[in-house]
């Protein structure tokens, strides 16, 4: 399995979430920004950055810094190695939404 296979599987999973999600694959290269996570996503109003790696892969210092800055700014950024990791992030956000929604459907 290659890192691009992990990216493709996570993109398929995110696409299955329907209208609650918007995402794109950030492509590296001369016109991109170094360190930005591979997948940038907005799910139910939360900003998410997913840096896809194989289990043996290492984060660069720029990637570590970007993940830290996203989390510090109130987004969710993580290293992900599988669809299961991406599902955990989505479940975390769904859980947060339940905590902040009152019984009558308003935000509490």
pLDDT tens digits, the chain, 108 residues: what are they?
Answer: 899 999 999 999 999 999 999 999 988 777 777 899 999 999 999 999 999 999 999 999 999 999 999 999 999 999 999 999 999 999 999 998 777 765 555 555
Strand order, beta sheet including 76-80? 21-25, 39-43, 46-52, 76-80
**pTM summary value:** 0.88
Cα–Cα distance for residue pair 100/24, rounded to 1 Å: 27
């Amino acid at each position: 399995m290659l890192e691009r296979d992990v990216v493709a599987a996570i993109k398929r999973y995110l696409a299955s979430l329907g209208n609650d999600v918007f995402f794109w694959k950030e492509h590296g290269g001369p016109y991109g920004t170094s360190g930005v996570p591979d997948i940038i996503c907005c799910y139910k109003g939360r900003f998410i950055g997913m840096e896809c790696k194989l289990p043996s892969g290492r984060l660069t210092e720029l990637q570590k810094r970007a993940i830290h800055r996203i989390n510090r700014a109130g987004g969710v950024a993580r290293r992900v190695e599988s669809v299961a990791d991406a599902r955990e992030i989505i479940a975390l956000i769904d859980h947060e939404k339940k905590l902040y929604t009152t019984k009558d459907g308003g935000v509490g």
